[in-house]
């Protein structure tokens, strides 16, 4: 059963309507025609189940209704080539993309988010955060270092980051593809890696390519529904905020996402 949406007709739509009705979400006449009633019932079901409420019956929605065996979305790793990523990141050395793109795609696939939207999100986020397509450490700036202070002194006592005073600011500065920052986050995500790592004790490991890719994937997977909802409504700024917490690099993120969106059918 393929993805079903408003305007579709046939036996698959009738099965969808029956499944919705069986769950208590009345689509109206069960006639095999996907119209407004079916769409409204489907959106209500999706909201009830914590799915993306887009009114489209894709693999995850169909699986939740018991109409397909697997909820897996199509993986686009084969389509996200070095050439496509290079066009999304035009200022990035090609050698860096060749070295790190396969690692990133493999990590996304392993967490089940190698589908189109989240792959575009990952590559666009890398461009916004590092541009170089390399895991990097955060540099000093007016936002983390005071005019007369030691490096990252403005981070040292950030309780929201779990810091306990110097040298926590520098020790747990941003690292990786998406700049994992703060003792709290190093401690949170390290045990969730495969294999688990004690990033609190060895924060520099966050810049290893595979670790950085897995951290990126974990972070995106945790926010997948909110990211997809933002992008469904064309709100790239909101999608960017879900990763960055602000709008740093929004212009690069937006440019990369739109280029990739036009290149991946």
Report the pLDDT value the prediction gives residue 246, as an integer from 0 to 100. 84
One digit per residue, the tens of pLDDT, for the chain of length 265 reads 679 999 999 999 999 999 999 999 999 999 999 999 999 999 999 999 999 999 999 999 999 999 998 888 889 999 999 999 999 999 999 999 999 999 999 999 999 999 999 999 999 999 999 889 999 999 999 999 999 999 999 999 999 999 999 999 999 999 999 999 999 999 999 999 999 999 999 999 999 999 999 999 999 999 999 999 999 899 999 999 999 888 889 999 999 999 999 999 7
Q: Is 176 helix (H, G, I), strand (E, B) or coil?
A: strand
What pLDDT is stored for residue 73 in this prediction? 87
pLDDT at 1: 63
* Bridge partners, 57 (sequence order): 4
CA distance 42 to 57: 8
Q: What's the pLDDT at 55?
A: 96
Three-state secondary structure call for residue 110: helix
Residues 66 and 206: their CA atoms lie apart, in Å, by 40
3-state secondary structure of 14: helix
Place of tokens 């059918």: 265
Q: What is the pTM of this model?
A: 0.86
Q: What is the pLDDT of residue 247?
A: 87
d(Cα 31, Cα 9) in Å, to the nearest integer? 9
Q: Give me the residue spans of the domains in the chain.
A: 11-64, 82-135+214-263, 136-207
CATH superfamily of 11-64: PGBD-like superfamily/PGBD (1.10.101.10)
For residues 118 and 203, give the distance between their C-alpha atoms in angstroms, rounded to a whole number. Answer: 26
CA 251-252-256 angle, to 5 degrees, is 120
């Amino acid at each position: 059963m393929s993805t079903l949406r408003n305007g579709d007709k046939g036996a698959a739509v009738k099965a969808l309507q029956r499944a919705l009705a069986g769950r208590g979400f009345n689509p109206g006449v069960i006639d095999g025609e996907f119209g407004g009633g079916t769409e409204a019932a489907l959106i209500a079901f999706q909201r009830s189940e914590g799915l993306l409420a887009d009114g489209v019956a894709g693999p995850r929605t169909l699986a939740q209704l018991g109409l397909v065996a697997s909820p897996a979305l199509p993986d686009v790793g084969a389509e996200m080539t070095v050439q496509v990523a290079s066009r999304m990141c035009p200022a990035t050395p090609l050698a860096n993309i060749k070295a790190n793109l396969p690692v990133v795609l493999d990590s996304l696939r392993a967490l089940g988010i190698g589908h189109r939207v989240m792959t575009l999100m990952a590559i666009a986020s890398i461009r916004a955060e590092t541009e170089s397509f390399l895991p990097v450490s955060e540099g000093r700036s007016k936002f983390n270092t005071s005019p007369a202070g030691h490096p990252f002194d403005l981070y040292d006592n950030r309780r929201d980051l779990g810091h306990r005073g110097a040298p926590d600011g520098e020790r747990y500065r941003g690292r990786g593809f998406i700049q994992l920052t703060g003792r709290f986050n190093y401690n949170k995500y390290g045990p969730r890696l495969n294999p688990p790592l004690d990033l609190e004790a060895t924060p520099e490991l966050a810049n290893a390519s595979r670790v950085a890719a897995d951290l990126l994937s974990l972070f995106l997977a945790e926010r997948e529904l909110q990211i997809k909802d933002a992008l469904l409504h064309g709100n790239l700024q909101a999608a960017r905020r879900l990763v960055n917490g602000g709008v740093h690099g929004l212009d690069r993120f937006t440019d990369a996402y739109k280029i990739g969106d036009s290149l991946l059918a």
